[in-house]
Amino acid sequence: MTPPASRRERPAKAALSRTAIVSTALEVMRVEGLAKVTMRRIAQELDTGAASLYVYVRNTAELHAAMLDELLGAVDLKPAKARGDWRKRLEAVLTSYTMVLFDQPGLAQSALVTWPNGDNFLNTVEALLTILDQGNVEPKRASWAVDLLLQFATTTAAEHGTRAQAIDGEEQWDALVDAARRVKPEIHPHIAALGDDLWSGDGRQRLTWGYAVLINGIVATPRP
Amino acid sequence: MTPPASRRERPAKAALSRTAIVSTALEVMRVEGLAKVTMRRIAQELDTGAASLYVYVRNTAELHAAMLDELLGAVDLKPAKARGDWRKRLEAVLTSYTMVLFDQPGLAQSALVTWPNGDNFLNTVEALLTILDQGNVEPKRASWAVDLLLQFATTTAAEHGTRAQAIDGEEQWDALVDAARRVKPEIHPHIAALGDDLWSGDGRQRLTWGYAVLINGIVATPRP
DNA sequence: ACCTGAACACCGTTCAAGT
DNA sequence: ACCTGAACACCGTTCAAGT
């Protein structure tokens, strides 16, 4: 006698756990995008009901934060242990962080409201503080600086990241560029004079310039 | 003979229009929060079906952008026409912008992905460009600077704004502060040394410092 | 062109009941 | 303690049919 079909269709049902939930969520995100990462969908993937997930995660926001922390394991923190120009090394870590988030702008967007608090995030913060210390930025100023730098890096990923709803975002971006083009020079002379230079241009160069602005500003601005 | 009840219960049904939709949406948001601003709910308020709204707005993202633009009418742009220290005046406009968004962090969050493109937004951009010009920042640099300044102001509102899901956000914030407190000094010495100073502190002071960092950085960093 | 009802294909979260 | 099915109270968007 064969076992019931349900016993043969899948491998033995894995035990539910926070780790299993987060890694399943990341898998679904990688394949189908963040929009498909819903409690019901993750539950389905784990062969259970959505209600069961609430034993391990408080809500969707917490799940997103846990996913992001997992992703942050890929950030290259080696520059914190290297030698050489601290500004370059700071920029290198931030660029790595931004690139990791760039493929998942939706996750970056949610991180602005709910920051992760896992090991990978803490390691990133520690690395940034280490480099700022090497640059002789006093600790109290460095603490605010990290916040500012991470905010900029995260927002940039959320804003310009590729993927998923980016198709929709592209349309809205064009609408903004169009609006700037149609502006009347009598009413908005500065916008009209800048033309396409206002909202377009190489994203990578803007990012590099943004880091430089922040680092120069941090060095030049003591905490009150 | 009295008219049918349905004819007496409400004032004569107003004609549908983009303006009516946006102002109804703002009304619902003010009273019940952004989470309640759904296509179905706005339609109900306007005595019609959700499908009818799609004649005037492409989707939810566009509705949010239109709402935000309307809100931006409250930003104080007078400093652009005043005299005195351009840095102070730039900060004044940005502070006003941030305060307008502060009550609606959810709208600020969505603005990062879909910027508004209406008159009030364009007026704000024009005002910022005007002040930067008065500060002798060259136009090309000013164009990138505006992007950076608005991004910072908007993100700050999205992150630290009050209201609605802020209750939930508060919990997650505490979780982050807790995580920083529990850190092992051997592994994360810089985080441990900073203690509560890392994630806490007066939001207003951090905001002012952030503006100063950006302005100093912009002045010090030419465009490549 | 504008408007509509109905349908499609979903959501997050809670809770009583089970093990 | 963990897990579940079912229920509650919703979503955005499309489309054929009407005016």
Q: What is the DSSP string of chain A?
A: -PPPHHHHHSSSPPPP-HHHHHHHHHHHHHHH-GGG--HHHHHHHTTS-HHHHTTT-SSHHHHHHHHHHHHGGGS--GGGTS-S-HHHHHHHHHHHHHHHHHT-HHHHHHHHHS---SHHHHHHHHHHHHHHHHTT--HHHHHHHHHHHHHHHHHHHHHH--STTHHHHHHHHHHHHHHHHT--TTT-HHHHHHGGGTT-S-HHHHHHHHHHHHHHHHHH----
Nucleotide nearest to A58 (CA to C1'): C13
The length of chain A, given as a count of residues: 224
B5 pLDDT more than 60:
no
Q: Is B130 on the interface with A (CB under 8 A)?
A: yes
Which of B119, B132, B159 to probe the A interface (max A CBs under 10 A)? B159
Closest by Cβ to A143, choosing from B117, B194, B215: B194
Question: How high is the mean pLDDT of chain B?
Answer: 90
**Cβ contact B20 with chain C strand, < 7 A:** no
Shortest distance between the Cα of A206 and any Cα of chain B, in A, equals 7
**Cβ contact B114 with chain D strand, < 7 A:** no
Res B158: pLDDT: 92
CA of A17 to C1' of C10 (A): 26
Q: Is A146 on the interface with B (CB under 8 A)?
A: yes
CA of B72 to C1' of D11 (A): 28
Shortest distance between the Cα of A10 and any Cα of chain B, in A, equals 36
Kindly state the tokens that stand for B77: 């742009």
Listed residue (A90, A94, A86, A80) closest to A127, CA to CA: A80
| Interface A:B, Cβ pairs < 8 A | 189
Closest by Cβ to A224, choosing from B142, B205, B214: B205
Q: What is the pTM of this model?
A: 0.91
pLDDT tens track of chain A, all 224 residues? Answer: 334 333 334 445 678 999 999 999 999 999 999 999 999 999 999 999 999 999 999 999 999 999 999 999 999 999 999 999 999 999 999 999 999 999 899 999 999 988 999 999 999 999 999 999 999 999 999 999 999 999 999 999 998 876 544 556 677 788 888 899 999 999 999 999 998 889 887 889 999 999 999 999 999 999 99
Phi first, then psi: give them for residue B215, nearest 5 degrees: -65, -45
Closest by Cβ to B109, choosing from A109, A125, A142: A109
B8 pLDDT more than 50:
no
Q: What is the mean pLDDT of residues B103-118?
A: 91
Shortest distance between the Cα of A18 and any Cα of chain B, in A, equals 17
